């Protein structure tokens, strides 16, 4: 049992390690600096959106509209290039992502609706907007040389995009673990009512979580559009699922209250290295999806095994909410108190 | 046909002899999709031909997702393949990936669809159908059917679509070039749609009637639309010669029954084969042309039984 708990705790490290060892043994030419640099660059797109989603999931919410915001922000940044120049266009486009996130957040908090349903709706709306603005055609930017510069690899490992991702995720780690607002996100995710009672502005934190997620999706979209010199309404259409998978593999719970930045980093790297290993072996796309799905199921099962039996590890406040045993215990305590009263 | 195949085999053997089995070359093939009416036969033909040539194919499917394709180019580079064949779905987005490939000294070519001129410095060649040439061939075929004299209508595809523009301008340019005494009565768009073609054909038949001595449809589906409209209007009278493009199975049937005069086969199999043949030559150190069209075969009643339909 202890072993299982340990395995659950360090599962990202184990899975990432297993993936890398298996790939290195089975896939010829896998272990090289170029695989690392290109893999990192590829993972950075998923990773930037995953940063935003990690915070949201910890606070007990979800955002499905990330892929659509990604496309929309990219399009805005490319279309505006001709009017106001590349840098201002990029800034406006990131702010468009922020605005999209604010809309999500305001609706979820204001209407008190389920974020899964709401962001499903806004996902459709943002995606359709992207098609509408562009007439469903990809639009080209003004400066292909900038794209080539952005795609450059520094120190044999980093592109600008992958370096930004690593820096941001480390910052997120410190914010979540070392600051009070960071800790409050966990409190809101574990038990919003209790968090409110103890003076934490739950609604504000949830709202800002959506704003943060939207901004990062927009940022990732702008980077993608600058790197490809293209804004396309179909960009990011399959991104959302990959992002959620990466965050969940990283140990963040969909129910909220638990998760970590470094776990997400591990999850993103796992998904990235797995995809590349399978592509190296020319594994068809549909088989890749099956493998990713199986890994997710395995993780959920491991999670289940540990949370139902491993009570000793009970550091998860979320258990208080969804574990029937705990609730039964409360009722029993109440009964005893009543009995005590009578005696 | 047999002569052509044996020639290809000789070429294959020669190529094998020069590269040798031992160090098989790997080519990254970033295709449009795994399952698609045109792409699937093209993929299969490419892979089969690669096997004959002793080239290993690393096949990656974009599933019509441009972003996935741009990332797959990176995988190709990381895999240190010997060549990249890209089926572009966007005029621009692949350029940085192609640039990376070039930095890594990996030659790249495009299959089937063109990219913008910005991509030219990064690719060795573009293999695929030449739609302008298809228009010219259609003009020649119709001109032959009419004996160089007559007045025709053009049923075109979508307005603004690259294929439509190529197929229409190739046709009209060729008529001018040959100074044939053929007048174009009207050009109408029917969006490559049989139903729309039926509707516009009714109008054309009402307006021009017996004046129409020939018909050029941008594809076989729209040719079918005209045939049906003509049958409605003139049940007992034979239709004027109709020329289509694509070489679909049902067009072959119409040619056999004299409903159509000709079509042009644009074969996905040839599309796939030419790409890998070209890449094999590049890997072998040979110079290739920057534009290599796939063979186009005009099919009339004379050769309808000797040619395979495209799909």
Q: Which chain A residue's Cα is nearest to B62?
A: A285
Q: Is B291 on the interface with A (CB under 8 A)?
A: no
> Does the pLDDT at position B21 exceed 70?
no
Partner residue opposite A232 with nearest CB, options B58, B66, B72:
B66
Q: List all residues 6 or more positions away from B202 whose beta carbon is below 8 Å from its beta carbon.
A: B229, B232, B233
A236 touches chain B (CB under 8 A): yes
Please tell me whether residues B107 and B209 are part of one structural domain: no
Which chain A residues have a beta carbon less than 8 Å from that of B96?
147-148, 150-151, 227-229
Whether residue B100 is found in the same domain as residue B139: no
Q: Which two tokens stand for residue A300?
A: 């959920």
Residues B176 and B199 in one domain: yes
Which chain A residues in 45-64 lie under 8 Å from chain B, judged by CB atoms? Answer: 45
Minimal C-alpha gap between B94 and chain A (Å): 7
Q: What domain range is B243 assigned to?
A: 131-266
| Shortest CA distance from A146: residue in chain B | B96
Residues B51 and B147 both lie in one domain: no
In this structure, what CATH number is given to the domain that contains residue B224?
A: 3.40.50.2300
B17 pLDDT exceeds 80? Answer: no
Which pLDDT score, from 0 to 100, does residue A306 have?
Answer: 67
Which of left, alpha, beta for B102 (phi over 0: left; psi -120 to 50: alpha)?
A: alpha
Indicate the domain borders of chain A. 2-316
- Which of B228 and A308 is assigned the larger pLDDT? B228
Minimum Cα–Cα distance from B98: chain A residue: A148
* Partners of residue A232 in chain B, C-beta under 8 Å: 66-67, 90, 93
User: How far apart are alpha carbons B218 and B131 in whole angstroms?
Assistant: 10
Residues B171 and B254 in one domain: yes
What is chain A's pLDDT, residue by residue, as a tens digit (343 residues)?
677 777 777 778 888 888 888 888 888 778 777 788 888 888 899 999 999 999 999 998 999 999 999 999 999 999 998 889 888 989 999 999 999 999 999 999 999 888 899 999 999 999 999 988 887 777 888 877 787 777 777 777 788 888 999 999 999 999 988 888 888 888 888 887 888 888 888 888 899 999 999 999 999 999 999 888 888 888 888 888 889 888 988 888 888 888 888 889 988 998 888 888 888 887 777 787 788 788 878 877 777 776 655 444 444 444 334 433 333 333 333 333 333 333 3
Contact A199, A79 (CB under 8 A): no
Same domain, B258 and B277: no
Contacts of B25 in chain A (CB under 8 A): none
In chain A, residues 198-227 whose CB comes closer than 8 Å to chain B: 224, 227
Does residue B305 sit within a domain?
Answer: no
Residue B261 pLDDT exceeds 50: yes
Q: B193: closest CA among B159, B157, B226, B229?
A: B157
All residues of chain A having their beta carbon less than 8 Å from the beta carbon of residue B78 are 32, 34-35, 37-39, 276, 280
Residue B81 domain-assigned?
yes
CB-closest option in A38, A141, A144 to B77: A38
Residues B262 and B273 in one domain: no
Indicate if B224 and B276 belong to the same structural domain: no
* Structural domain total, chain B: 2
- Please indicate whether, in this complex, the C-beta atoms of A235 and B63 are within 8 angstroms of each other: no
Q: Which residues of B touch A141 (CB under 8 A)?
A: 92
Other residues' Cβ atoms within 10 Å of the Cβ of residue A133: 15
At residue B79, what are phi and psi to the nearest 5 degrees? Answer: -75, -10
Q: What SS3 class is residue B55?
A: coil
Residues B275 and B258 both lie in one domain: no
In a domain, B306, yes or no: no
Residues of A in contact with B90 (CB under 8 A): 138, 230, 232
Same domain (yes/no): B19, B137: no
With an 8 Å Cβ cutoff, are A228 and B118 in contact?
Answer: no
Specify burial of residue A305 (Cβ count, 10 A radius: 0-12, 13-18, 19+).
middle
| A-chain residue closest to B66, CA distance | A235
Alpha-carbon span A141 to A232, nearest angstrom? 11
Closest partner CB to A230 (pick from B68, B93, B99) = B93
Fold entry, domain A2-316: ABC transporter involved in vitamin B12 uptake, BtuC (1.10.3470)
pLDDT in tens, B158-171: 776 667 888 999 99
Neighbours of A145 (CB within 10 A): 9
Residues of A in contact with B99 (CB under 8 A): 148, 151
Q: Which residues have C-beta within 8 Å of that of residue A123, sequence separation ≥ 6? A: A64, A65, A67, A68, A240
Are the Cβ atoms of A280 and B66 closer than 8 angstroms? no
């Amino acid at each position: 049992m202890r072993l299982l708990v340990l395995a659950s705790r360090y599962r990202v490290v184990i899975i990432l390690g297993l993936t890398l060892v298996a790939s290195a043994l089975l896939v010829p030419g896998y272990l090289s600096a170029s695989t690392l640099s290109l893999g990192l660059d590829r993972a950075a797109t998923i990773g930037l959106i995953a940063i935003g989603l990690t915070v949201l999931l910890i606070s007990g919410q979800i955002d499905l509209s990330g892929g659509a915001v990604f496309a929309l922000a990219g399009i805005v940044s490319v279309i505006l290039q001709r009017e106001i120049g590349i840098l201002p266009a990029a800034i406006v486009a990131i702010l468009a992502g922020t605005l999209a996130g604010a809309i999500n957040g305001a609706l979820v908090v204001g209407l008190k609706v389920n974020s899964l349903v709401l962001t499903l709706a806004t996902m459709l709306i943002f995606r359709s907007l992207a098609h509408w603005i562009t007439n469903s055609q990809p639009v080209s930017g003004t400066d292909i040389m900038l794209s080539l510069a952005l795609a450059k690899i520094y120190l044999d490992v980093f592109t600008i995009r992958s370096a930004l991702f690593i820096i941001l995720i480390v910052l997120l780690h410190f914010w979540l673990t070392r600051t009070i607002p960071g800790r409050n996100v966990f409190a809101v995710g574990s038990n919003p009512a209790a968090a409110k009672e103890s003076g934490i502005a739950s609604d504000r934190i949830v709202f800002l979580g959506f704003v943060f997620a939207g901004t990062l999706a927009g940022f990732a979209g702008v980077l993608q559009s600058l790197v490809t010199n293209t804004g396309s309404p179909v960009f990011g259409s399959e991104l959302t699922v990959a992002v959620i998978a990466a965050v969940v593999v990283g140990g963040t719970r969909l129910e909220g209250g638990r998760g970590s930045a470094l776990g997400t980093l591990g999850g993103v790297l796992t998904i990235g290295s797995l995809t590349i290993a399978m592509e190296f072996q020319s594994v068809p796309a549909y088989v890749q999806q099956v493998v990713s799905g199986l890994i997710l199921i395995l993780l959920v099962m491991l999670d289940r095994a540990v949370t139902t039996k491993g009570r000793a590890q009970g550091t998860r406040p979320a258990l208080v909410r969804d574990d029937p045993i705990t609730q039964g215990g409360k009722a029993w305590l109440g009964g005893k108190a009543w009995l005590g009263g009578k005696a | 046909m047999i002569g052509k195949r044996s020639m290809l085999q000789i070429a294959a053997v020669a190529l094998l002899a020069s590269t040798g089995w031992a160090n098989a070359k790997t080519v990254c093939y970033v295709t449009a999709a795994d399952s698609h009416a045109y792409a699937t036969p093209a993929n299969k033909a490419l892979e089969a031909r690669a096997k004959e040539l002793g080239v290993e194919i690393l096949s990656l499917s974009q599933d019509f997702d441009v972003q996935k394709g741009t990332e797959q180019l990176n995988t190709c580079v990381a895999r240190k393949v010997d060549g990249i064949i890209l089926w572009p779905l966007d005029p621009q987005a692949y350029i940085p990936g192609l640039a990376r490939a070039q930095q890594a000294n990996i030659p790249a070519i495009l299959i089937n669809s063109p990219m913008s001129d910005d991509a030219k410095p990064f690719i060795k060649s573009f293999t695929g159908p030449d739609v302008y040439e298809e228009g010219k061939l259609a003009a020649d075929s119709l001109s032959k059917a009419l004996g160089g004299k007559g007045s025709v209508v053009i049923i075109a595809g979508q307005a603004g679509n690259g294929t439509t523009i190529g197929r229409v301008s190739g046709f009209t340019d060729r008529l001018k070039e040959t100074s044939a005494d053929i007048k174009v009565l009207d050009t109408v768009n029917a969006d490559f749609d049989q139903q729309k073609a039926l509707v516009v054909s009714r109008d054309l038949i009402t307006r021009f009637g017996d004046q129409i001595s020939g018909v050029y449809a941008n594809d076989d589906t729209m040719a079918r639309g005209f045939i049906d409209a003509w049958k409605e209007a003139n049940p007992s009278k034979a239709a004027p010669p109709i020329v289509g493009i694509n070489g679909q199975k049902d067009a072959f049937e119409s040619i056999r029954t004299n409903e159509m005069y000709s079509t042009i086969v644009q074969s996905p199999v040839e599309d796939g084969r030419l790409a890998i043949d070209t890449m094999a030559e590049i890997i072998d150190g040979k110079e290739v042309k920057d534009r290599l069209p796939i063979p186009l075969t005009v099919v009339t009643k004379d050769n309808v039984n000797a040619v395979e339909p495209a799909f």
